[in-house]
Amino acid sequence: MAVKPITRIGLDEGRSTLPRLAALAHTGQASLLTRHGKPFAAIVAPEVLLATRPRPGFLALRGSGRGLWGSSASAAVADLRDEWDDRAS
Amino acid at 49: L
- Characterise 70 by phi-psi region: left (phi > 0), alpha (psi -120 to 50), beta (else): left
Distance, CA of 56 to CA of 62 (rounded, Å): 11
User: What is the DSSP secondary structure assignment for residue 25, as one 8-state letter?
Assistant: H
Residues of the chain with pLDDT under 70: 1-3, 88-89
Please give the class, per CATH, of domain 1-54: alpha beta
Residues 51, 57, 61, 63, CA torsion sign:
negative
At CB < 8 A and 24+ separation, what contacts does 60-67 make? none
User: Tell me, what's the pLDDT at 42?
Assistant: 94
Q: How far apart are CA 74 and CA 72, in angstroms?
A: 5
**Residue 89's pLDDT is what?**
65
Hey, where are the domains in the chain?
1-54
